[in-house]
Structure 1
Amino acid sequence: MPKVKTNDITLYYEIHGEDHPETLILINGVGQWHEAWWRNVRPLAEHFRVVTFDNRGVGDSDKPDIPYTIDMMADDALGLMDGLGIERAHVLGHSLGGGIALFMARKQPQRIQSLILASTLYWGPQVVMPSPRAMQLLQDRSGDPLELVKNGARVAAAEGFETRDPEGFRKLIDMRFNSQQTPNLYLRHSQAGLAYFAADYIADFVPPMPVLLLVGEHDEVAPPANSEAIALQWPHAKFVVIEGAGHLFNIEKPEESNRIITEFLQSQ
């Protein structure tokens, strides 16, 4: 089982497409782990050396039961790069992973070849918070575990995903139960970004690298207004909305998502 020691923990990672010269690091959000990229890794690995890993608190990485922060998790990811000997990489962060990717770019911009912020929030006072039902699921993990996971999948995808793609819906359920994450550690993830809305971490940063902002049209967890606000602050960024998809657009619309990501990275 491949693992790397970074900071005070050990992270599990996987590498796909090792023969490619350029590296793409995929960073998950709240409650997700490396299996969440099951519809993306293989197509992306046809063009890039793709690194997936489990953030602290989930999957096969260490799970300290302490408060988590985006700063801390960005240091984890940069430490993973150090441990794997990756000097520079494209970085794609989804949801909370977008905050992690942002802070990697703020800390060590010379190491980020390009930055993709997917389904993420505006890290500052212009944030548009999740819908009430999404917020409820993020903050309250009581009740029947199966119903919690099913409701979470329904909120994270556009309406009707369960019937349009029953195989994908079942995979989301199975994946969540296999994530080795307790309800308490899920809350550690969901609370990691709470300290980042008072100061404006978008407006006070001018990314020196190319940026792609990706969001699903019907995202309730990180509403599209967040990406729109980031695009206004970073006019050089490319902004793309995936129509007919929600927060998990990369799972709902994998072919379109993989194409957009690949074309953006290859254009740099």
Structure 2
Amino acid sequence: MAFVQLADGELHYQLDGPDNAPVLVLSNSLGTDLHMWDIQIPAFTKHFRVLRFDTRGHGKSLVTEGPYSIEQLGRDVLALLDALHIQRAHFCGLSMGGLIGQWLGINAGERLHKLVVCNTAAKISDSSVWNPRIETVLRDGQAAMVALRDASIARWFTPDFAAAHPDQAKLITDMLAATSPQGYAANCAAVRDADFRDQLSAIEAPTLVVSGTEDAVTPPSGGHFIQERVRGAEYAEFHAAHLSNVQAGPAFSERVVAFLLADQNI
């Protein structure tokens, strides 16, 4: 296992793919870890040096006192790139990872080649959704994480996919049950407080926005909102709920690779 030392703890990461290939950073959703991208690795590593990491509060990365902010999580990504001597990279993030991608595009665009934001929005829900969840998780701890896992299948996957691929759905949702309650609650606050609706026009990196047709958490309307405000942004939509990278699998990977390889000037 590989770790980068941040000022307040260790960030867990994994590198796959050819050493001399362009770097593609993958950023996980709330309540998962870097293994949510496992299905993409065979396709992505044909063309890229893939850098995955567990967002602060998740997986094997540091869990510090919350609340967190998307800026804080974005600066963790920059610290990771700096520690690995990576000046510029492609970035692909899903849900919370998509919020991190938006922050990077707005505030650190010079570090990006291209940006992919998936199943996300410029603002995801509001305090009426997040505050009760934060309160419950901090009060009930791991029991609350198990309850969230059981409820997440319906949010993360369409019923037909969950029925046809129960083992795959369980593999992903078990990540949620294993997440630190403190870290999860702190990240919920980061998502709650993020609002990039008035800043999207500052993104200059070539951008692809991906949505899931059946995504009730971040509906396609949120993806269209981003696409319409980022100059030249492309849009793709798959039959999927919230985790389109898992449910759409090969089609998702193919679309992302095609976007990243188009008009290469890196």
**TM-score with structure 1 setting the length:** 0.88
Cα separation, partners in 2 of 1:53 and 1:137, compared to 1, 3 Å: same
Distance 1:154 1:138, change over 3 A: farther
Code of the aligned partner of 2:192: L
Q: % of aligned pairs identical?
A: 26
Report the counterpart of residue 153 of structure 1 in structure 2.
Answer: 153
Distance 1:46 1:239 in 2: 23
Q: Provide the C-alpha distance between the structure 1 equivalents of 2:100 and 2:28, rounded to a whole number of angstroms.
A: 9
Give the C-alpha shift of residue 49 in structure 1: 0.4
Cα pair 2:148 2:176 within 8 Å, conserved: no
Q: What's 1:172 paired with?
A: 172
2:217 to 215, 221, 227: 221
Any conservation in 2 of the 1:134–1:220 contact (CA below 8 Å)? no
Whole-angstrom CA distance in 2 between matches of 1:167 and 1:149: 14
Q: How far apart in 2 are the matches of 1:36 and 1:109?
A: 25
2:236 aligned partner: 240
Q: Who is 1:253 aligned against?
A: 248
1:12 aligns to 2:8 (yes or no): no
Deviation at 1:137, TM superposition (A): 6.1
Measured after TM superposition, the shift of residue 38 of structure 1 is: 1.5
Gapped regions of structure 1 (runs ≥ 5): none
Tell me the secondary structure at the aligned position of residue 231 of structure 1: helix
Counterpart in the other structure of 1:192: 190
Q: Deviations over 1:22-65 (max 9, x none)?
A: 11000112111111111112221111100000111111111012
Change (3 A) 1:168 1:106: same
Query: What's the TM-score, normalizing by structure 2?
Result: 0.88
Match of 1:91 in 2: 91
Q: Please, which runs of 5 or more residues in structure 2 have no aligned partner?
A: none
Per the alignment, do residues 208 and 83 of structure 1 end up closer, same or farther by CA in structure 2, a change over 3 Å counting? same
Structure holding more helix per residue: 2
Equivalent residues of 1:17, 1:50 under 8 A apart: yes
Residues 97-126 of structure 1 deviation map (CA, whole Å, 9 limit, x = unaligned): 111111122222111000101111124xxx
> Structure 2: how far apart are the matches of 1:198 and 1:81?
23
Give the whole-Å Cα distance in 2 for the aligned partners of 1:7 and 1:17. 28
* Deviates further, 256-265 or 167-176: 167-176
Cα RMSD over matched residues? 2.3
Aligned residues: 258
